[in-house]
Amino acid sequence: MITSFVFKALDRRAIWVIAVLVGLAVLVPLLNLALPAGHPLHVPNYAISLMGKYLTYALLALALDLVWGYCGILSLGHGAFFALGGYAMGMYLMRQIGARGVYGDPVLPDFMVFLNWQELPWFWYGFDQFWFAAIMIVLVPGALAFVFGWFAFRSRVTGVYLSIITQAMTYALLLAFFRNEMGFGGNNGLTDFKDILGYAIQADTTRAALFSASALALAAAFLICSGIVRSKFGKVLVAVRDAESRSRFFGYRVENVKLFVFVVSAMMAGVAGALYVPQVGIINPGEFAPANSIEVVIWTAVGGRGTLVGPIVGAVLVNAGKSVFTAAFPEFWLFALGALFVAVTLFLPKGIVGALSGLATRRPRRPAPVIRDAAGEAAE
């Protein structure tokens, strides 16, 4: 069954994307670690972390494309799933600090000692083990998506109303995580990480390994998404997107279809957040900001929703542009981002990849040769 799923997922485009990502996972760390700093092909350390962050954003955009591009669910709350996965990884990294913190407490993180916490909260138990944290990275966002989707989809909340509710969920989590008594670091969040799996998190080899893990996770997620959309279930997803009432009339449990793909997408977003945190070194409630979820929508729209490749391209291009633009004109970035979204909506409604695919399918074909018989007359 798994073999059949993989073979269905591996069309020509998927093979190329996965091959590129696997190649990057091998080549970029080699160019960083094996070549000296003065070599023209050397990849500097800061670029490793920056590109790794872009790949986690691409994974988040891919997760959104699965629900928006193929099922018509415009979620403005995927930043919440991303942040929850990041907090799960951050809690593991905080437990690894131990007595090396500022206050030297072997159990309590520094912010808990500062706030006069007497014991570790129950929901921090187990996060000293990586396997437990790995489970929570996918379980917590998946559970939230399941509970939210169960009520929303069975109530037949759709369209802009669903988008507003997902945004409200994100904002509620933002306010909750800002509170110190929640036990997640309050406004400052979680930071000052030391180790991951026993390796120094600031070491060059660790940075390179995190980049490779991000690229491989994106490749695996692309394979999963491609397998889903190319299966019979994927055809049902598109039917729900294009004609939900008709799909329900034909006997499909539309709410179950939506719920499944929404939970899978949330888990992927959680993995993206978990890979993001050790590469940037901090996770705070600002990651729950509704503006972050809206940016993910822009990345997906710019690249081309409903293409799987488009969100990856859009996330990398927009964030690379953001890095350059904010360095030169930091006060104008939000205006540029809004103008980009308007321009894409007006002139490239299918996004970059969608437009390029449309041009490829409209290429003029060479006329078929005319076959003539012995008398020189054209055969019918």
Residue 347's pLDDT band (cuts 50, 70, 90): confident
The string of pLDDT tens digits covering residues 354-366 is 888 777 666 655 5
The string of pLDDT tens digits covering residues 267-287 is 999 999 999 999 999 999 999
Residue 20's pLDDT is 96
The string of pLDDT tens digits covering residues 52-73 is 999 999 999 999 999 999 999 9
Residue 253 reports pLDDT greater than 90:
yes
> pTM to 2 decimals?
0.92
The residues that bridge with 299 in the sheet, in sequence order, are none
Residue 235's pLDDT is 93
Residue 376 reports pLDDT greater than 70:
no
The residues that bridge with 190 in the sheet, in sequence order, are 283
Query: Distance between CA atoms of 82 and 179, rounded to whole angstroms?
Result: 19
Strands 190-191 and 199-200: unpaired
As a whole number, mean pLDDT of residues 120-126 equals 94
Query: Distance between CA atoms of 38 and 32, rounded to whole angstroms?
Result: 11
The answer to whether 221 and 215 are in contact (CB under 8 A) is no
Residue 143 reports pLDDT greater than 80:
yes
Query: Distance between CA atoms of 252 and 168, rounded to whole angstroms?
Result: 29
Share of the chain above pLDDT 70, in %: 92
Place of tokens 């994100």: 170
Q: What are the contacts of 244-252 at 24+ separation with CB within 8 A?
A: 244/72, 244/158
Instruction: Write the CA distances from 97 to 136, 150, 297, integer angstroms.
Output: 19, 38, 36
Residue 316's pLDDT is 95
Give strand ranges (E) for 251-313.
Answer: 282-283
Which run of H or of E encompasses 195? strand 195-196
Residue 380's pLDDT is 47
The string of pLDDT tens digits covering residues 9-64 is 778 888 999 999 999 999 999 999 999 988 899 999 999 999 999 999 999 999 99
DSSP structure string for 31-72: HHHTS-TTSTTPPPHHHHHHHHHHHHHHHHHHHHHHHHHHH-
Which CATH number, 3.40.50, 3.30.420, 1.10.3470, 1.10.10, labels domain 2-379?
1.10.3470
Place of tokens 């705070």: 284
As a whole number, mean pLDDT of residues 238-251 equals 92
Answer left, alpha or beta for residue 279, where phi above 0 means left and psi between -120 and 50 means alpha: alpha
The answer to whether 310 and 68 are in contact (CB under 8 A) is no
Calculate the CA 55 to chain-centre distance.
8
Which run of H or of E encompasses 191? strand 190-191
Share of the chain above pLDDT 90, in %: 73
Tokens of 220: 């695996």
Residue 236 reports pLDDT greater than 80:
yes
Mean per-residue pLDDT of the chain: 90
**236-249 burial by CB neighbour count: b if 16+ within 10 A, else e?**
bbbbbbeebeebee
